[in-house]
A and B are shown apart, each in its own frame.
Chain A
Amino acid sequence: MTKTPDSIPAAGWRRLFVGRQGRKLREALLAYLFLTPAFLVVGLFGLFPLVFAAFMSTHRGLNRIPGTFDGLGNYIQAIGDLTYFLGFWGVVILIVLALRAIARSAIKAKEKNSPFWQWAIPGIGFGVMAAATLGWIIRLLPLLLDIPNQMRGANNTPENFRRLLGEALTSPQAMEMMWLMLAGLGIGALGLAVLTRNPNLRRHQGNFAAPFTFATIMLALAGAIGWLTWAELQKNIADSFTNGGGLDIWSQMILISAGFLLLWLSWRLWRSASHRDSMLSVVLRLGGAAALMLGAWVLIAEAPRVIAQGDARWWYSLLATFYYSLGTIPPQLIVALVLAVLLFQEIRGRSFFRVIYFLPYIAPFVGTAAVFKIIFSSRPTAPINSILGFFGIPPLAWINEPAGILNLLTPGVQLPAWSAGPSLALVVIMIYGVWTFFGFNTVIFLAGLGNIPREMYEAAAIDGAGRWPQFRHITLPLLSPTIYFLTLYSVIGTFKAFNHIYVLRTGAALGTTDTASVVIFQTFQRDTRYGYASALAILLLLVIIVLTVVNNRIAERRVHYG
């Protein structure tokens, strides 16, 4: 039996795919194959846009892709000097996150008595690779975006495209990052191979490369943000020297930071007061209250100056979004909870009611919004106005009313726009929002109620607890995961909301109903300011992230997972 030289490497390959290890490898490869189509789509149209939007947000220009590089200019235009504040604290937070990840796993490694710092080599290697991939994308983007411009007319051939693509990929700035990626990958793989082959290490079964990778990526991001902020700051300082104007960046920065630090301090004091004895607790709470008031005062005093520097339309749209969130989420959750508790009894027609309640959520938004536009129209003969007329109330402009509701309620006093509350037109949109989503919330609450063990009610009933105590002490606590989920879902949902608000928008409401998404859409679609729209979208994402983190923090303490 003689083997041809060719079959030996083939057999070697095949050996990889047999046995227990081989089966695992085969399964992993098949899994990646299964994931490829979905991740091509999600990656290109769901994840890559985040990097692309960040890239676009540093460019300016009308109807130009990508436009000219402008650093953080778009952010300065949108939120003024707050950009420096966000840049500085963003860098600080990223560094803290990086260090915390390392510190936490160092402790965990010590507990397991496992070596830790050796993992830094592969961890940092993979981190460098990931960061270099981001850098590679950002360096390649302008080259790729230029390709269609060079393919006009007769040049529009697949061969030409392939040539241009090759040129972009092999350009020095892209290759630089490519080598960095490969170097990171090499170091990472080598380090991992050495570490996992070391018999001393293998016994402990711990892999601590991940925190180092995470920390490296965070530090790279911090570096990028820090560099952009610093460049912008220097430009600003140079400008104010030539213009001879004063520089209030520092004072603003310190005051706003102090304001937020005081708020944070008051929260910490308040929290630590809750598990101390009475005397100390009172002192701590008083201190907390004082810090809260001081911090709030600093922020409120400083806010008008900062806001005045930014884009008034953008600030108002954020305020409108907050109003819309506050005006829709509590009512829709309360209505849904009441309906769900009532439906969760042994009554006839449960499924009938469920189907009906769900209808507004399922019907196309454009269709139902068009009806609401007519029901709440400003004509005296419109349904709502004719009902008001039946009670002798003069007709209101509803969907066309730009005035704030507080101004409408107190006709004698003319409040300034920022304190007049949401406009009546926005209130109509809130009513529409509650109407659309209460059925959805009811259905989720019903499912949550179904998960509460019935024995708990039986036990409570034997103990003589009435309806209300049962609701208060069994239903509510055990439903808290559902309430938390719905709150988070609705907060994110209201901050993303676009379709119905865009349909219910009227010219007469003078933009008082324009939430953040609507302003971004118009900046993009009507004004064709791609870079500015991207910067606004990134700011909106930051707001959503902060809200999610805050929501999670509150939930950690309040949610009861039975």
Chain B
Amino acid sequence: MADAMTGAATRPTAMRSGRPPMFRFAGTYLVLILGAAVAIVPFLYTVSVSLMNLTEANGGAWLPSTPQWRNYIQAWNQANFSLYFWNSVRIAAITVAGEIVFCTLAAYAFARMEFWGKNLLFSLLLATLMLPEAIIWVPNFITVSWLGRVGPIPWINNWPALTIPFMASAFSIFLLRQFFMQVPNDLWDSAQIDGAGHLRYLLRVIIPLSKAALMTLVLFSFIGAWNALAWPILVTTTPDWRPITYGFFAFIDEAGAQFHLQMAGSVITMTPVIILYFFTQKTFIEGIATSGLKG
């Protein structure tokens, strides 16, 4: 798989072409650059508008005359981004921590252990992938409020409602299982000779060998937590635990026609994810390709 993504894959057709090498790919590059432009222009436009003043932003200018950096400060203060930013970080961290533990254990059981009902449980798990989010809104909202009312801590407007339902997902377990199954069997045999049980084998051998997979999982769940919108709208009625996407969504209405502030808020919302993506893009894209194709 990795070889398919990164290795130099030669297409024989390219070699057969008789045109001079300079122009051989001219048409290809034209299309590829066009595609790249379409992908990136909205982002550039966002940054551009975020630095305009009010007249420029509403007047349809393409570039700001002088960059207005204080738009960011104004948007930050006006939308209470400090709180929302911190909330999203907290929510993402708790979700990711839970997900790593729960999904690693479950994925290991599915990948390496034999037990009665394995196929049944695994197909039940995969069936949840087909469920639309819409079907879980009502039941989960009721469940979460119920748990909060009868239990020791409230769930609505608090971290449990925002994190616990996402601490195990079929997608993550499936992704990790795919990676765990690629670990050669010989390692398990030699670990058994050394007297290691399943738990020690998982901690000492499998996890160190699957750092890339765990990294992918961390990225996926971090971005998932950062992007969530519908569920936070349902379970946060106060700003205490409201994540940044919901905060920004409310700010779009609040800022109204002040497009420069809207776009400054948009940049603030997107930056952490995009930075994370640029630092880890290779792991990320390969993770998507692996999990996607094998599905």
Cβ contact within 8 Å between B59 and A144: no
Cβ contact within 8 Å between A30 and B150: no
| Given A342-B31, A533-B138: A32 and B16 interface contact (C-beta under 8 Å) | no
Among the listed B4, B28, B259, B270, which residue makes an inter-chain contact with A447, where contact means beta carbons less than 8 Å apart? Answer: B4
A544 to B118 CA separation, bound complex (whole angstroms): 26
| Given A38-B168, A537-B132: A374 and B259 interface contact (C-beta under 8 Å) | yes
Counting chain A CB atoms within 10 Å of each CB, the highest count among B16, B137, B284 belongs to B137
Chain B interface: which of A277-285, A322-330, A435-443?
A435-443
A42 neighbours in B (Cβ, 8 Å): 125, 128, 168-170
Q: Does B226 contact A (CB under 8 A)?
A: yes
A235 to B39 CA separation, bound complex (whole angstroms): 56
Q: Give residues 351-380 of A contacting B (CB, 8 Å).
A: 351, 353-360, 362-368, 370-375, 379-380
Q: Does A85 contact B (CB under 8 A)?
A: no
Q: Give residues 418-454 of A contacting B (CB, 8 Å).
A: 435, 438-440, 443-444, 446-451, 454
A360 neighbours in B (Cβ, 8 Å): 39, 42
Cβ contact within 8 Å between B229 and A502: yes
Interface size in chain B (residues, C-beta < 8 A): 112
Among the listed A45, A46, A374, A489, which residue makes an inter-chain contact with B49, where contact means beta carbons less than 8 Å apart? Answer: A374
A 509-549 binary contact with B (CB < 8 Å = 1; else 0) = 00000001100110011000010011011101100110010
Cβ contact within 8 Å between A499 and B165: no
B10 neighbours in A (Cβ, 8 Å): 346, 454
| Given A342-B31, A347-B25: A362 and B273 interface contact (C-beta under 8 Å) | yes
Residue of A with least CB distance to B267: A367
Describe B's contact surface by its main secondary structure: helix
Among the listed A45, A347, A495, A536, which residue makes an inter-chain contact with B165, where contact means beta carbons less than 8 Å apart? Answer: A45
B92 neighbours in A (Cβ, 8 Å): none
Q: Does B3 contact A (CB under 8 A)?
A: yes
Q: Does A202 contact B (CB under 8 A)?
A: no
A545 to B108 CA separation, bound complex (whole angstroms): 30
Q: Does B179 contact A (CB under 8 A)?
A: no
Chain B interface: which of A47-55, A251-259, A261-269, A554-562?
A47-55
Cβ contact within 8 Å between B270 and A364: yes
Cβ contact within 8 Å between A521 and B115: no
Residue of A with least CB distance to B137: A524
A545 neighbours in B (Cβ, 8 Å): 130
B 113-148 binary contact with A (CB < 8 Å = 1; else 0) = 111101001001101101111111111111101100
A380 neighbours in B (Cβ, 8 Å): 60
Q: Does A239 contact B (CB under 8 A)?
A: no
Cβ contact within 8 Å between B146 and A144: yes
Closest Cβ of chain B: how far from A357's Cβ, in Å?
Answer: 5
Cβ contact within 8 Å between A356 and B138: no
Closest Cβ of chain B: how far from A374's Cβ, in Å?
Answer: 5
Among the listed A35, A351, A383, A544, which residue makes an inter-chain contact with B106, where contact means beta carbons less than 8 Å apart? Answer: A35
B 264-295 binary contact with A (CB < 8 Å = 1; else 0) = 01110110011001100110110011101101
| Given A46-B136, A499-B227, A499-B229: A440 and B263 interface contact (C-beta under 8 Å) | no
Closest Cβ of chain A: how far from B21's Cβ, in Å?
Answer: 10
Q: Give residues 194-213 of B contacting A (CB, 8 Å).
A: 198-199
A460 to B11 CA separation, bound complex (whole angstroms): 12
Q: Does A335 contact B (CB under 8 A)?
A: yes
Cβ contact within 8 Å between A358 and B285: yes
A470 to B77 CA separation, bound complex (whole angstroms): 58
Cβ contact within 8 Å between A358 and B252: no
Q: Does A508 contact B (CB under 8 A)?
A: no
Cβ contact within 8 Å between A359 and B274: yes
Q: Does B83 contact A (CB under 8 A)?
A: no
Closest Cβ of chain B: how far from A101's Cβ, in Å?
Answer: 14
| Given A27-B113, A147-B150, A339-B35: A45 and B133 interface contact (C-beta under 8 Å) | no
Cβ contact within 8 Å between A346 and B11: yes
Among the listed B59, B138, B229, B267, which residue makes an inter-chain contact with A56, where contact means beta carbons less than 8 Å apart? Answer: B138
Cβ contact within 8 Å between A46 and B113: no
Cβ contact within 8 Å between B25 and A345: yes
Q: Does B70 contact A (CB under 8 A)?
A: no
Cβ contact within 8 Å between A364 and B226: yes
Closest Cβ of chain B: how far from A484's Cβ, in Å?
Answer: 11
Residue of B with least CB distance to A535: B138
| Given A34-B109, A354-B285, A362-B273: A516 and B130 interface contact (C-beta under 8 Å) | no
Among the listed A345, A363, A524, which residue makes an inter-chain contact with B273, where contact means beta carbons less than 8 Å apart? Answer: A363
A134 to B32 CA separation, bound complex (whole angstroms): 54
Cβ contact within 8 Å between A370 and B266: yes
B 3-35 binary contact with A (CB < 8 Å = 1; else 0) = 111111111111010000000010011011001
Q: Give residues 86-118 of B contacting A (CB, 8 Å).
A: 101-103, 105-106, 108-110, 113-116, 118
B6 neighbours in A (Cβ, 8 Å): 351
| Given A41-B164, A346-B10, A450-B5: A359 and B138 interface contact (C-beta under 8 Å) | no
Counting chain B CB atoms within 10 Å of each CB, the highest count among A27, A345, A449, A454 belongs to A345
| Given A45-B136, A151-B150, A363-B273: A435 and B42 interface contact (C-beta under 8 Å) | yes
Cβ contact within 8 Å between B295 and A365: no
Cβ contact within 8 Å between B230 and A356: no
| Given A27-B115, A347-B28, A485-B293: A370 and B263 interface contact (C-beta under 8 Å) | yes
A514 to B60 CA separation, bound complex (whole angstroms): 28
Cβ contact within 8 Å between A356 and B133: no
A525 to B113 CA separation, bound complex (whole angstroms): 43
Q: Does B69 contact A (CB under 8 A)?
A: no
Residue of B with least CB distance to A354: B285
Closest Cβ of chain A: how far from B274's Cβ, in Å?
Answer: 6
A374 neighbours in B (Cβ, 8 Å): 49, 259, 262-263
Counting chain B CB atoms within 10 Å of each CB, the highest count among A35, A53, A151, A492 belongs to A35
Cβ contact within 8 Å between A365 and B132: no
Cβ contact within 8 Å between A447 and B143: no
A466 to B17 CA separation, bound complex (whole angstroms): 10
A353 neighbours in B (Cβ, 8 Å): 32, 35-36
Cβ contact within 8 Å between B39 and A516: no
Among the listed B11, B173, B266, B267, which residue makes an inter-chain contact with A38, where contact means beta carbons less than 8 Å apart? Answer: B173
Among the listed B25, B105, B234, B285, which residue makes an inter-chain contact with A443, where contact means beta carbons less than 8 Å apart? Answer: B285
Q: Does A382 contact B (CB under 8 A)?
A: yes
Counting chain B CB atoms within 10 Å of each CB, the highest count among A354, A363, A440, A534 belongs to A363
Cβ contact within 8 Å between A342 and B32: yes
Q: Does A238 contact B (CB under 8 A)?
A: no
**A/B interface sample: 16 pairs, CB < 8 A:** A30-B198, A41-B164, A45-B136, A46-B169, A52-B138, A65-B142, A148-B145, A347-B28, A351-B6, A355-B281, A446-B4, A446-B5, A446-B289, A447-B289, A499-B227, A521-B230
| Known contacts A147-B150, A544-B132, then 6 further A-B pairs from the complex at CB < 8 Å, ordered by chain A residue | A364-B227, A365-B229, A370-B248, A375-B45, A443-B285, A492-B132
